[in-house]
Amino acid sequence: MVLLIASEEKKADPVEKALKAEKIQYRFLTLTSVLELKKTGKAEAYIIFGSYSKEKGIKEFIKKIKNNGLIILAGPETEEKELTKGDFIFLPEKTAPFLFTGIVKWYLKSRNQNICKELLKSFFKGSKIQIFF
């Protein structure tokens, strides 16, 4: 299960379509609703869009989910220094939707997620995509 979180519904549309096309089970929540929920349930991967670093309470939410699975942050600004402990991939906001879904699909199907993480790190080495595992 993937939890797709965005500040606005339209921001997540292309990734939502890609997740549906790949038949990846997901749940969509707005940033506001995810912060209001006491418990979001455990997901294997989280994709968070938008101005999350400005959103009150999002850092606490990220700390809460940190060791539960892969976290992909996509947005115009990130405060990497505060968030680098955990499984994070920072993607530019306009990254092609299939890249999000490709990473998530591969991560979910991988029997050995440590090998998956190392391959992801080497694959994106030298690109604008930042990975912290």
Q: In which order are the strands placed within the sheet that holds 26-30?
A: 26-30, 2-6, 45-49, 70-74, 88-91, 130-132
Q: What is the pLDDT of residue 129?
A: 64
Q: What is the pTM of this model?
A: 0.68
Other C-beta atoms closer than 10 Å to the C-beta of 60 total: 9
Q: What is the pLDDT of residue 63?
A: 73
Q: What is the pLDDT of residue 121?
A: 72
Residue 106 in 3-state DSSP? helix
Q: For residue range 52-79, what is the model confidence (pLDDT) as tens digits? A: 656 667 777 777 776 667 777 776 555 5
* Contacting residues for 35 by C-beta, under 8 A, at least 6 apart: 55, 56, 57, 58, 61
CA–CA dist 31, 121 (Å, integer): 28
Residues of the chain with confidence (pLDDT) below 50: none
For 1-133, strand residue ranges (E) read: 2-6, 26-30, 45-49, 70-74, 88-91, 130-132
Q: What is the pLDDT of residue 9?
A: 67
Architecture of the domain made up of 2-132 = 3-Layer(aba) Sandwich (3.40)
Q: What is the pLDDT of residue 79?
A: 53
Name the H helices within 67-109: 80-83, 97-109
Q: What is the pLDDT of residue 17?
A: 85
Domain boundaries, the chain: 2-132
CB-based contact 102:64 (threshold 8 Å): no
Select from 94, 89, 93, 95 the least CA-distant residue to 123. Answer: 89
Q: What is the pLDDT of residue 75?
A: 64
Q: What is the pLDDT of residue 76?
A: 57
